[in-house]
């Protein structure tokens, strides 16, 4: 039942372009997207600033196009994301709303967006990056700051009401090794389940850097959530590296990268209900990494011309 997915590029600040998205004009990109994956995640197109640019205006075009593409190619969709501190529109972040208004705005947004794609989304990242590294709730998140952490449970309830069949996930980075952040998620997951909140899964984004070593305890982390009866997933895997002078990775770096990718896939395969293995883009051509992590890059499984790297072959041979 394991789905193999990728983010669908588009709308990112790093691409310096908005709609149309690469997959609508880059034919080779579109071909690989259709051929290699049976799950897709909009990289930006369902985030608040894109899909809800003004208080009373939604922009569904780019997200609709991805959902349609997925349908045509027998792919499922991971919706991303509903409650996050980043990529929110100014009208929301800078608006002068009462608590009751803010709550109504979030409820409305979730009901509208999740409702629009009812029956067409396999999994939703309902809550994204809600904890800091120290395991405390992120106060940059306007909903958590203004409404308190109980809003997380409400977000799950509203999403469930809008699409009862979608699997609803907690999603974060920095949860590939045990530690206080993972502890915080485990405690939250237990609490939500005890309170009968419709939580279905816990996901590691798995944005990895070769600076920090291979995620050799990821399986154990995922297992803790599997033990709670949850699905687990890898949702945004990429493996960045320090690029040598000239920009091209060495053969040795590419082998190391392939081993990291394999470690993550093996972890997912070893855990019974790990049901999605998604990489955050499949070609370096559109990867967010070089823009967000200076001096690092080459983080995906294909080069700029869709040439396959060792990581591609390793994943293929492992599946
Ligand atoms: C990134 C996108 O890849 C970029 O295009 C965008 O400019 C910024 O966001 N965690 C997440 C993703 O949950 O949504 C982020 O995606 C990467 C980190």
State the alpha helices, DSSP H only, in 57-179.
Answer: 61-72, 90-93, 99-116, 142-147, 150-162
**195 C-alpha to ligand 1 centroid (Å):** 31
| pLDDT tens per residue across span 74-87 | 999 999 999 999 99
Closest C-alpha to 160, from 122, 114, 196: 114
Q: What are 37's two structure tokens?
A: 């994956």
Atom of ligand 1 at shortest distance to CA of 288? Answer: 3
**Can you tell me the ipTM of this complex?**
0.99
Bridge partners, 233 (sequence order): 203, 276
| pLDDT tens per residue across span 18-52 | 545 787 789 999 999 999 999 999 999 999 999 99
Residue nearest to atom 6 of ligand 1 (CA): 12
**234 C-alpha to ligand 1 centroid (Å):** 15
Residue nearest to atom 8 of ligand 1 (CA): 12
Predicted confidence at residue 24, as pLDDT, reads: 78
**280 C-alpha to ligand 1 centroid (Å):** 9
Range of the domain at 132: 3-318
For residue 117, give the CATH number of its domain.
3.20.20.80
Predicted confidence at residue 23, as pLDDT, reads: 79
CB distance 128 to ligand 1 below 6 Å: yes
Predicted confidence at residue 13, as pLDDT, reads: 59
**137 C-alpha to ligand 1 centroid (Å):** 20
Number of domains into which the chain is organized? 1
Predicted confidence at residue 284, as pLDDT, reads: 96
Overall pTM > 0.95:
yes
Closest C-alpha to 123, from 48, 195, 203, 65: 203
Decide: residue 72, CB within 10 A, 0-12 exposed, 13-18 middle, 19+ buried.
Answer: exposed
Report, as ranges of residue numbers, the positions in the chain whose pLDDT lies below 70. 12-20
- Integer Cα distance of 220 and 218 in angstroms: 5
DSSP E strands: which ranges in 9-75?
39-42
Ligand 1 probe mutation, 21, 83, 86, most atoms within 8 A of CB: 86
Distances in Å between the alpha carbon of 56 and those of 53, 59, 112, 214?
8, 10, 11, 45
Predicted confidence at residue 177, as pLDDT, reads: 98
Predicted confidence at residue 165, as pLDDT, reads: 98
- Mean confidence (pLDDT) of the chain: 96
């Amino acid at each position: 039942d394991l789905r193999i997915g990728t983010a669908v590029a588009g709308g990112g600040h790093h691409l310096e372009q908005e709609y149309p998205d690469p997959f609508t004009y880059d034919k080779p990109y579109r071909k690989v997207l259709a051929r290699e994956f049976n799950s897709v995640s909009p990289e930006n197109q369902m985030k608040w600033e894109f899909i809800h640019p003004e208080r009373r205006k939604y922009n569904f075009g780019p997200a609709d196009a991805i959902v349609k593409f997925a349908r045509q190619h027998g792919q499922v969709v991971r919706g991303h994301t509903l409650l996050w501190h980043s990529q929110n529109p100014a009208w929301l972040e800078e608006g002068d709303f009462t608590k009751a208004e803010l709550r109504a705005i979030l409820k409305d947004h979730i009901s509208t967006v999740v409702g629009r794609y009812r029956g067409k989304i396999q999994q939703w990242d309902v809550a994204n990056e809600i904890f800091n590294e120290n395991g405390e709730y992120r106060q940059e998140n306007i909903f958590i700051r203004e409404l308190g952490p109980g809003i997380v449970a409400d977000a799950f309830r509203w999403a469930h009401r809008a699409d009862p069949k979608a699997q609803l996930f907690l999603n974060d980075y920095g949860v590939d090794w045990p530690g206080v952040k993972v502890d915080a998620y485990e405690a939250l997951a237990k609490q939500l389940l005890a309170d009968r909140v419709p939580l279905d899964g816990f996901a590691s984004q798995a944005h990895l850097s070769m600076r920090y070593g291979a995620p050799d305890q990821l399986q154990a982390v995922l297992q803790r959530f599997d033990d709670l009866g949850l699905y687990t997933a890898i949702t945004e895997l990429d493996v960045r590296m320090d690029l040598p002078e000239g920009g091209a990775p060495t053969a040795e770096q590419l082998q190391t990268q392939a081993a990291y990718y394999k470690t993550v896939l093996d972890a997912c395969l070893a855990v019974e209900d790990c049901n999605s293995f998604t990489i955050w883009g499949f070609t370096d051509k559109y990867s967010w990494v070089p823009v967000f992590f200076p001096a690092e890059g080459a983080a995906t499984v294909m080069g700029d011309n869709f040439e396959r790297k060792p990581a591609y072959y390793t994943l293929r041979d492992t599946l």
